[in-house]
Structure 1
Amino acid sequence: MTEPEVDYAMLLSEVSEDELVASLCEDRFYFFFLEFWETIEAVELVPNWHIEYLCDQLQQVYEAWAAKRAQPDVLINVPPGTSKSTTVTQLFPAWLWLKHAGIRILSSSHTAPLATSHAVKSRLCLKSPKFQRLFPGRLDFQDDQDGKTDYRNTALGQRFSTSTGTGGAMGNHADFILIDDPLNPQGGASENGRRAAEDHLKTLATRKTDKARSVTVLVMQRIHELDPAGLWLASGRRLRHICLPGELTKDAQTGELGKQVRPAELVARYTDGLLDTSRLGREVLEGLKTTLGSYGYAGQVQQLPSPDEGGILKKTWFRTISVEAFQALAGPRGAVWLFDADTAYTADQKNDPSALVASCYLGQTLYVRYAGEMWLELPDLKKRLPELLAAHSYSRQSKLYVEPKASGKSVVQELRAISQLNVVEAPSPTGSKLERVHGVSPFIEAGRVVLLDGAWNEAFVTQCAGFPTAAHDDMLDCLCQAIARYNLKPRRRSALSEVIT
């Protein structure tokens, strides 16, 4: 028996335009975004593929929640001016209530006024004449719970807003936690600011209604290696990670195009290497490079904590030489290696590590044969240092220079007591770290720091080039200490010819 033919034209004729639009908006968040943009934004919308992609990803997150499936949290790294807030923290919450009015939403930003503004725009959308016309009677607000930062509907759905540095989230639980820029660019340079953002996210993580089903969406630009996004990525936790830099560039070391794009297949969606040719065209990007500076552009536009090629110190300034070539330069008498240590007490990898650099001077060039860092308690550190020195050609003429901070003084005293190492308390550093790095940058730029080829090279160069937004700078501290010591007195020019790879 054949099924009767359906007259779609007649069906469509019986459906009003508003009913059709309402159905499309309810079925797909991206259509809702396109239709309701005008309820909260006065400027004309210029759609781009990344907006559709983000909307579809967020819809998948909702659908997993609705199906009661466990799912990972979401990390979104996109440049400013790409409608990230409009998408994630303004229109997405409104669509969530359209789909399920009982959803509880907790939203946050780095300042209270910004968090309030996002919440108000969501409410503006839901109360707009357009929403009321397309979805009559679908959503009513509670008269006595209709504030700017905390409002509820009659289906017991709630939208509560908070901000970094406040404890206002306590006592509230949510099905969706939306965090939009928990750290501003200025706060990213401050350890206190980063700690405040980290603590805030830890508090919000305890506010999930269902630990497996509830979802946190963190959307932000990269500011520092230890910003909230960096901590999430370093934790090894399972994430839905979307990273969209403003333009595709080649990795300084591997030459890979668009290495930071996530998922990687989205590289193919870029046009002429640009994420959004309308919002972030070449001319706009060039202006941002000037306005934001190299670090600001790397973090906010390219989603890199520091410029890929390096900031104050460039990766290309560090040359390498093979061990065999160095041995030929040093001659039969070899080299006397000196060691610089920046010591710490703790084995906790959330804190700064101890670091060690082995170097020697030939002519006017500083050669580095090893640089590494370790997280060890003081007793283990005292055992490990002599082993490392022995492994890297410590001799009777060698010296171990230890930075004289609190743990450094203890290390000097105890190593002198328990070993025959020539341990020296290094001169106290002068000026800030930033001043010291600027002070050694001409020396390094001139190619006077050469690394013996080794597995440690990449981590060392990455840390140096990432300063001051790298997670740690202890190996760089040791390098600065070595250069400062070697530059205390003038040296004779070397007749050695250097063959550098």
Structure 2
Amino acid sequence: MSATTLTVRQQLVYEKELCERSFKDFIRLAWPHVDTAEYKHNWHVDVLAEHLQACTDGRITRLLINICPGSAKSLIVNVLFPAWLWAIRPKTRVLSASHSFDLATRDSLKTRRLITSEWFQRRWPIGLRNDQDAKTKFENDSFGAREATPLKSITGNRANFVIIDDPHSVDDAKSAAMRATAVETYLTAVPSRLNDPDRDVIICVMQRLHEGDVSGAILGRPDLDYDHLCIPLFADGVDRPPTSIGWIDPREEGENMFPARYTEKVVRGYRASLGPLQFSGQYQQAPAPDADGFFRREWFHRYEPSALPQHVNYYMTSDHAPSGNNDYNVFRIWAVDHNRALWLVDSFRKRCTMDIALGLSRDANAKTVIAPEGAFALIRKYKPRAWFPENDGTWAAIKSMVSAAMIETKTFVTIDPLPTKGSGDKVGKAVGYQAMAAMGQVHLPVGPIGDEALSEYAMFPAGKRDDQVDADSAIARALEDVIPAWLPIIAPKKKRSMFDDDDSRATSDDCWG
């Protein structure tokens, strides 16, 4: 039966049944009643709809969605989906949270306007209770509810669906303290907001802003058992596991998610205004770029041990974490050649207490001995001309132990602590090392040491870890301050002949000097 032959009543019944069977059709038909912008269909809308619908039939109970701004993610997930839940299950209770009260209120109000619209009411005549009918919290006659709150205040009521939409603002994501607060709230408070933790649903939708954001926390904990729906603006070729409903990104690498929306001109403007780090996070769902970040992989030479020059001078740098609980202790051995190029030769990097990091222990006679690995093992092996630790509180606490250990083990090195005052923040301290790398002056060994360094460099300064960057930047800072950083090999003087007189000239023209 064609639509032109349907009566108004039949069309209402047809649309009602169509929408109840398919959330993606609900999106298309409800769109004009929540947004003035013209609806432009794209395949990503169907993918979002299919995964959200899978949350209603038990196939997915934990869903993480990473997708870029401007993709209608909030409108689909946090406005239309709660309204559709009431259309198919009026008793459903929905709790949503965002990084700010204003954002949470905006989407709650849009849902309320849609539910009270003539279009919705003619198909699903759901009444709102007079005793609970506010912008951020309203209930229907079947005791279904829709409540919105800032993430930091997500306590109190429970729900069947908890939706977290953008748990971080762009500015908040730059603060380690605020990131950590949002992550802790998400991990500790959000799961307890479910009526039935086994069957009820948590949905988090956001763009990536930092390696340590809420998405990073979820992805770093596989036991949370989230389905990860990741749709970068440009297909990145990453081999991600299929979601529970079997979806994998079908695009060729580099293919635009929505060319009609994100034209070449639009994308060029985004790249220019955001810069590579922010664009990579928000649009590519990769908090650090593959290229054009603070460090670029192609700047660094990789070398086999046999390629290390013979005539070099060795130096040691370090970055310290006294507790060793979360951060790494790092000690690096560097070779500096006659061109002042840097060669990372050896490394100790481990979450451990300072005695293990230094590589010190006591034998049966309570005598200090050097362990097989650690700072003193590196000093004994390479005999560096100098050690450049950061002159911070940690170094102040351990320097007496280091001095005593040198005397006891008869293992010595000149120590020249690098000043912290006036040296800038972590990015500022790394600028010298960045410049040397950009000029092709840094060589990293083939193997795990070089691989781990490059992985951290690629994430800097947005990554969770920067201990290697701190330790490695120290060698460039030292080269700026220590003279000479390379002690040249002096060629032996040519022995004079008995026939040379004191006034010998280099050329016959010297007599005209």
Measured against the shorter chain, the TM-score band is 0.7 to 0.9
Q: Which residue of 2 aligns with 1:94?
A: 83
Q: Residues 336 and 233 from structure 1, CA distance in 2 versus in 1: closer, same or farther, beyond 3 angstroms?
A: same
Q: Which residue of 2 aligns with 1:3?
A: none
Structure 1 residue 356: Cα displacement: 2.1
Q: Which residue of 1 aligns with 2:46?
A: 52
What does 1:406-485 correspond to in 2, within 5 Å? 406-419=393-406, 420=409, 421-422=411-412, 424=415, 426-429=417-420, 430-485=423-478
Give the Cα separation in 1 of the matches to 2:205 and 2:477.
42
Structure 1 residue 372: Cα displacement: 5.2
The aligned amino acid for 1:228 is: V
Find the partner of 2:262 among 274, 280, 291. Answer: 280
Q: Is the 8 A contact 2:319 2:329 kept in 1?
A: yes
Give the Cα separation in 2 of the matches to 1:123 and 1:159.
9
Q: Residues 300 and 356 from structure 1, CA distance in 2 versus in 1: closer, same or farther, beyond 3 angstroms?
A: same
Give the Cα separation in 2 of the matches to 1:203 and 1:141.
28
The aligned amino acid for 1:119 is: S
Q: Does 96-105 or 36-45 show the bigger shift?
A: 96-105
Deviations 1:62-101 (A, max 9, x none): 110xxxx7x5511111011011001110000111111212
1:178 match: secondary structure: strand
The answer as to 2:333 corresponding to 1:374 is: no
Q: Is the 8 A contact 1:222 1:304 kept in 2?
A: yes
Q: Residues 77 and 170 from structure 1, CA distance in 2 versus in 1: closer, same or farther, beyond 3 angstroms?
A: same
Give the Cα separation in 1 of the matches to 2:265 and 2:181.
36
Structure 1 residue 260: Cα displacement: 6.7
Find the partner of 2:195 among 209, 216, 232. Answer: 209
Q: Is the 8 A contact 1:222 1:229 kept in 2?
A: yes
Give the Cα separation in 2 of the matches to 1:311 and 1:204.
34
Q: Does 306-315 or 442-451 show the bigger shift?
A: 306-315
The answer as to 2:470 corresponding to 1:486 is: no
1:16 match: secondary structure: helix
Q: Is the 8 A contact 1:403 1:425 kept in 2?
A: no
What does 1:101-180 correspond to in 2, within 5 Å? 101-136=90-125, 139-164=126-151, 166-167=152-153, 169-180=154-165
Deviations 1:373-397 (A, max 9, x none): 3222344434479513436872445
Structure 1 residue 413: Cα displacement: 2.1
Percent of aligned pairs with the same residue?
26
Give the Cα separation in 1 of the matches to 2:14 and 2:300.
63
Q: Residues 285 and 355 from structure 1, CA distance in 2 versus in 1: closer, same or farther, beyond 3 angstroms?
A: same
Structure 1 residue 464: Cα displacement: 1.6
Find the partner of 1:402 among 364, 389, 395. Answer: 389
Give the Cα separation in 2 of the matches to 1:26 and 1:360.
68
Deviations 1:432-466 (A, max 9, x none): 22212223322110111111222221221121232
Q: Residues 103 and 170 from structure 1, CA distance in 2 versus in 1: closer, same or farther, beyond 3 angstroms?
A: same
Q: Does 485-494 or 103-112 show the bigger shift?
A: 485-494
Q: Is the 8 A contact 1:221 1:301 kept in 2?
A: yes
Aligned residues: 463
What does 1:9-88 correspond to in 2, within 5 Å? 16-64=10-58, 71-88=60-77
Q: TM-score, normalised by structure 2?
A: 0.84
Q: Residues 322 and 236 from structure 1, CA distance in 2 versus in 1: closer, same or farther, beyond 3 angstroms?
A: same
Deviations 1:97-127 (A, max 9, x none): 1121221211111111011001111111111
Q: Residues 105 and 370 from structure 1, CA distance in 2 versus in 1: closer, same or farther, beyond 3 angstroms?
A: farther
Q: Residues 397 and 463 from structure 1, CA distance in 2 versus in 1: closer, same or farther, beyond 3 angstroms?
A: closer
Deviations 1:395-423 (A, max 9, x none): 44554433232233223222332353436
Structure 1 residue 60: Cα displacement: 0.4
Q: Which residue of 2 aligns with 1:330?
A: 310
Give the Cα separation in 2 of the matches to 1:206 and 1:392.
52
The aligned amino acid for 1:358 is: I
Q: Is the 8 A contact 1:315 1:462 kept in 2?
A: no
Q: Is the 8 A contact 1:30 1:55 kept in 2?
A: yes
Structure 1 residue 128: Cα displacement: 0.7
Q: Is the 8 A contact 1:339 1:356 kept in 2?
A: yes
Find the partner of 2:175 among 190, 202, 208. Answer: 190
Q: Is the 8 A contact 1:258 1:267 kept in 2?
A: no
Give the Cα separation in 2 of the matches to 1:439 and 1:452.
20
Q: Residues 393 and 289 from structure 1, CA distance in 2 versus in 1: closer, same or farther, beyond 3 angstroms?
A: farther
Give the Cα separation in 2 of the matches to 1:483 and 1:114.
45
Q: Residues 395 and 373 from structure 1, CA distance in 2 versus in 1: closer, same or farther, beyond 3 angstroms?
A: closer
Q: TM-score, normalised by structure 1?
A: 0.86
Q: Which residue of 2 aligns with 1:340?
A: 317
The aligned amino acid for 1:59 is: Q
Give the Cα separation in 2 of the matches to 1:180 and 1:339.
46
Q: Which residue of 2 aligns with 1:299?
A: 281
CA-based RMSD of the aligned residues comes to 2.6
Which runs of no fewer than 5 residues in structure 1 stay unpaired? Answer: 1-7, 250-256, 496-501
Give the Cα separation in 1 of the matches to 2:488 and 2:234.
45
Give the Cα separation in 2 of the matches to 1:13 and 1:366.
78
1:309 match: secondary structure: coil
The answer as to 2:337 corresponding to 1:362 is: yes
Deviations 1:170-192 (A, max 9, x none): 21112111111111112111112
Which runs of no fewer than 5 residues in structure 2 stay unpaired? Answer: 361-369, 490-513
Give the Cα separation in 1 of the matches to 2:348 and 2:99.
35
Q: Is the 8 A contact 1:149 1:160 kept in 2?
A: yes
The aligned amino acid for 2:170 is: P
Structure 1 residue 200: Cα displacement: 2.6
Q: Does 22-31 or 439-448 show the bigger shift?
A: 439-448
Structure 1 residue 478: Cα displacement: 0.7
Give the Cα separation in 2 of the matches to 1:20 and 1:152.
27
Structure 1 residue 267: Cα displacement: 3.6
Give the Cα separation in 2 of the matches to 1:279 and 1:30.
19
Q: Is the 8 A contact 2:388 2:478 kept in 1?
A: no
Q: Residues 464 and 395 from structure 1, CA distance in 2 versus in 1: closer, same or farther, beyond 3 angstroms?
A: same
1:206 match: secondary structure: helix
Give the Cα separation in 2 of the matches to 1:39 and 1:388.
66
Give the Cα separation in 2 of the matches to 1:479 and 1:57.
44
**Larger of the two Rg values belongs to structure:** 2
Q: Which residue of 1 aligns with 2:363?
A: none
Give the Cα separation in 2 of the matches to 1:418 and 1:393.
12
2:256 match: secondary structure: coil
Q: Residues 408 and 107 from structure 1, CA distance in 2 versus in 1: closer, same or farther, beyond 3 angstroms?
A: same
2:162 match: secondary structure: strand
